[in-house]
Structure 1
Amino acid sequence: MEPFVKQDEHTASLFVLEKWGKAPGGTLLTAGFTGRKGGVSLAPYDSLNLAFHVGDRPEDIVENRRRTAAAIGFSLDDWTCGEQVHGVRIGVVREGDRGRGSLDRASAFQDTDGLITNVPGVLLTSFYADCVPLYFWDPVTGAVGLAHAGWKGTLGGIAEEIVRSMAAEYGSQPQHIHAAIGPSIGECCYEVDDRVMDHVRNSGNGLLISDEVTKSALYLDKGDGKYMLNLKEINRHIMIKAGILTEDIECTSWCTSCSHDLFFSYRKDGGTTGRMASWIGMRKR
């Protein structure tokens, strides 16, 4: 069953991770992914673009973020994000960091592709147009995290870095952490060349791609130096290697390129397009 469920929402297009709807200790947990509809941005960013770096009008982006936060049950003051660079750096979000990056790029966590927090009322967000959103929730400690994983962040092990960071900061044990892999470009549409595949083959993440069963799950060799790469499955393998239980990992079937009417896609749109957002946050009942 698809874990990211499309919602009927008039102000913002939302795909909610419904299974994670309740958290212990009198809090509500919300996590999900936005679509491309329901905002005010003009073409080619029409309409719910949520990222500043693409060239859209800042006032439209702020309004889109305001609408999205409200639809989720938060305010723009809670919106907290990083300035992504396709790396593996993790930012720890404390009470005083609430709202960093909500109104501009300069105040965001710099050079940061992953965020963790245990502060209720903070809305963690990150931005996508084909890359893979990763979600983490420890129901024991109440900690949550997000990671932005393109092929560089995926092979760099950002999923494992989040698990390590949650353990160091909050005492989270990997076997207690629940994880999810959100809407992103699928192996059906993500063609790469030998340059990228050399990184996959030489990655230090224990992918065991010499094993034929594992290899077939991670990529398809099309010949002539072309491959269809499954970033979702690679991230799932890395999560398991990090100690997360297989049964506690949710994985979407949505492909951002195939479902172009619902999502922005960097590849489908030729490089000029808007950005969706992943989110996760806790709030009082």
Structure 2
Amino acid sequence: MSKFVLKYSTNGVWYGIFSNLDAKGVKHGISSRLGGKSAHPFASLNLGLHTGDDAEAVWHNRQAFCQALQLPVEKTITAEQVHGDVVQVVTDQDAGKGIRHYHESIRGTDALITNVKNLPLMLFFADCVPVLIFDPVNRAIGISHAGWKGTVAKITQKTVLSMQQHYNTNPSDCIIGIGPSIGPCCYEVDETVINKLKTNFSNWESLVIPNGSRWQLNLWEANRQQLREIGVQDTNITISGVCTADNTALFFSHRAEAGRTGRIGAVISLSDN
């Protein structure tokens, strides 16, 4: 059975992997908050340069995370992340963008795709949903940052469709990992979010649990359903089921930590195989 498991690196970094991606030889990982150099409230493996943390500590942490996964940090590509639905194709010419300096990140983008080997794609999270995508037939990868705005805009679905457009990806072939994020147990939303949800999800009621004048929203299921709509197979989707707000000893949570916290990273890279 596919699952999400935590691993420990000899350099002190704890991170999680998906067994369905690992079985295909895909280099990937979701960082925890353990094993870095950042001080409180970013302790300790904060990977976000835009959080107010010391930039040198973050750079150390990014190097440590990539080292743990045996990925080339100097080639790793990051994005600005604006809670939109833009998907950016990246190539060797983009190698290293944003990994050292935030202002060099790919602007206005919340999803990256490539078919270039050894070109890691990394995004950052503190309750939003990390989604890792692998097309084993055409050898292409994607990564999405899906907060409620991105989820409602179906950025994960759009990422797979962009892979279809650029790499001839068949959604039914895709292997997907949906990582730790705020879970339905802790994610209470108001009518503003629900009204947006209704616009793009005809079955929106299956994604929420009413709670008085508010609702508990299941972002994991919303992302799974939008993938199913375009033909991704349920058996190819692994949901970690780990709530970041309920597990702040392991992960950063913007909501549980009142906005003053670090960011975990999600990364995926095509190997030479």
Is this a same-fold pair by TM over 0.5? yes
Deviation of 1:2 (Å)? 6.5
Classify the secondary structure of the residue corresponding to 2:28: strand
Task: Report if aligned partners of 1:11, 1:68 keep a CA contact under 8 Å in 2.
Answer: no
How many angstroms apart in 2 are the aligned matches of 1:267 and 1:12? Answer: 24
Deviates more, 1:11-20 or 1:269-278: 11-20
**2:224 matched to 1:236?**
yes
Task: Report if aligned partners of 1:49, 1:64 keep a CA contact under 8 Å in 2.
Answer: yes
Per the alignment, do residues 263 and 2 of structure 1 end up closer, same or farther by CA in structure 2, a change over 3 Å counting? Answer: farther
Deviation of 1:20 (Å)? 1.4
Instruction: Write out per-residue CA displacement over residues 26-72 of structure 1, whole angstroms, 9 at most, x where no aligned residue.
Output: xx411221100100011111110001111111111110000000000
- After TM superposition, the structure 1 = structure 2 runs for residues 10-159 of structure 1, keeping only pairs within 5 Å, are 10-23=11-24, 28-159=25-156
Structure 2 runs not aligned, ≥5 long? none
Classify the secondary structure of the residue corresponding to 1:48: coil
Deviation of 1:11 (Å)? 2.5
Deviation of 1:261 (Å)? 0.6
- After TM superposition, the structure 1 = structure 2 runs for residues 130-209 of structure 1, keeping only pairs within 5 Å, are 130-203=127-200, 206-209=201-204
Instruction: Write out per-residue CA displacement over residues 59-86 of structure 1, whole angstroms, 9 at most, x where no aligned residue.
Output: 1111000000000011221211110000
Number of residue pairs aligned between Structure 1 and Structure 2: 272
Which residue of 250, 269, 272 maps to 2:238? 250
Q: Which residue of 2 aligns with 1:3?
A: 3
Q: Which residue of 2 aligns with 1:220?
A: 209
Classify the secondary structure of the residue corresponding to 1:81: coil
Structure 1 runs not aligned, ≥5 long? 210-214
How many angstroms apart in 2 are the aligned matches of 1:226 and 1:202? Answer: 18
Task: Report if aligned partners of 1:207, 1:234 keep a CA contact under 8 Å in 2.
Answer: no
Deviation of 1:249 (Å)? 1.1
- Aligned partner letter, 1:76: V
Task: Report if aligned partners of 2:112, 2:143 keep a CA contact under 8 Å in 1.
Answer: yes
Task: Report if aligned partners of 2:20, 2:175 keep a CA contact under 8 Å in 1.
Answer: no
Instruction: Write out per-residue CA displacement over residues 199-258 of structure 1, whole angstroms, 9 at most, x where no aligned residue.
Output: 11222xx4423xxxxx2x4110011x1111101101110001122112211111111011
* Percent identity between the two aligned chains: 36
Instruction: Write out per-residue CA displacement over residues 79-124 of structure 1, whole angstroms, 9 at most, x where no aligned residue.
Output: 1111000001011110111111110112211000000011111111
Classify the secondary structure of the residue corresponding to 2:150: helix
Q: Which residue of 2 aligns with 1:212?
A: none
Task: Report if aligned partners of 1:2, 1:252 keep a CA contact under 8 Å in 2.
Answer: no
Deviation of 1:170 (Å)? 0.7
Deviation of 1:126 (Å)? 0.4
Deviation of 1:13 (Å)? 1.6
TM-score by length of 2: 0.96
Deviation of 1:22 (Å)? 4.6
- Aligned partner letter, 1:121: N
RMSD of the TM alignment (CA)? 1.3
Classify the secondary structure of the residue corresponding to 1:283: coil
Deviation of 1:283 (Å)? 2.3
